[in-house]
Amino acid sequence: MPRTEGDSWDLASSVGATATAVAASRALASQGADALLDDRLADPLVRAVGVETFIKLIDGELPTVDDPAMTPRAMKEQITVRTRYFDGFFLAAASAGIRQAVILASGLDTRAYRLPWPATTVVYEIDQPQVIDFKTRVIDELGTAPAAERRTVRIDLRDDWSAALRASGFDAGAPTAWIAEGLLIYLPPEAQDRLLDDITALSASGSRLATEHMDTRSLPEDWAQRLTERSKRLGSEIDLADLFYTGDRHPAGDYLREHGWQTTITSTENAYAAHGFAVPDDDMRAFFGTSGYLTATLP
């Protein structure tokens, strides 16, 4: 179903289902003696959501697909590259003395529980109330405690999340590490700019931000439809073309540089190579030749 103004979701529908899909990929990559990740909470979270396709994915029960990007190994490598990038970002920020982290649209992110946070670190998770409540309940029932002080901010990013974050104890005078993982393409172009403006306004000198890098201006018109078709080969019912906001938008790196941030882009090719992987040579590879990951620092 296409997005509408003020729409809402749970973790089995709309944008929320994409968070569950990502968690399912992390669960898959965390399996076995040769696991590429160690996210032990992803599996029980996905099972608690209850979407059959994602449970079949982690149980190895989905059909074989003739696509080099859709093999179990390729999916494990893709999510490993993505997860390690943002994990490494937070760990580097912590090593630099940053003790305040914010996860925007946190979904089923488990970093507050599984990363080795230094003492006194506060991790803020922002997402819709039903998403926050579900994840908190499931993990509490597992008896798992966070590895940092976890503070949840139960609000839609389209509302005044800045005020809600401050009300939760956020200190705008201290440097912050922000991540917007798998988020920006689900925002209208003007909402993306507004989000980056709000982050900038809340960021003290030394703050850092990580997100994906994508210049949608270089993509063919049907790129979202082709991504949807690829995911549906595995039985997914998520229509990404309905969930993404297309149209002209500022590349995040360009916008941040114009607002005083210093940026570094790691290409997808280099991000894969850093872990000894190669980008799958499928029919989508050429579309994302300029894509990758972005880290920004505020002097």
pTM: 0.93
Using alpha carbons only, give the angle 179, 184, 187 rounded to the nearest 5 degrees.
Answer: 135
- Per-residue H/E/C for 238-291: CCHHHHCCCCCCCCHHHHHHHCCCEEEEEEHHHHHHCCCCCCCCCCCHHHHCCC
Q: Which amino acid is at 256?
A: L
C-alpha R_g of the chain = 18
Per-residue pLDDT of 135-174, as tens digits, reads 999 999 999 999 999 999 999 998 999 999 999 999 999 9
Tokens at residue 167, please? 């009300």
Per-residue pLDDT of 30-73, as tens digits, reads 999 999 999 999 999 999 999 999 999 999 998 887 788 888 89
- Please say if the pLDDT value at position 283 is more than 70: no
Q: How far apart are CA 21 and CA 120, in angstroms?
A: 32
- Per DSSP, what are the bridge partners of residue 125? 103, 152
pLDDT score, position 230: 73
pLDDT score, position 67: 80
* CATH number for region 68-297: 3.40.50.150
Q: Check if the beta carbon of residue 215 is closer than 8 Å to that of residue 290.
A: yes
Q: Where are the domains of the chain?
A: 68-297
Per-residue pLDDT of 118-138, as tens digits, reads 999 999 999 999 999 999 999
Q: How far apart are CA 225 and CA 216, in angstroms?
A: 14
Q: How far apart are CA 123 and CA 113, in angstroms?
A: 10
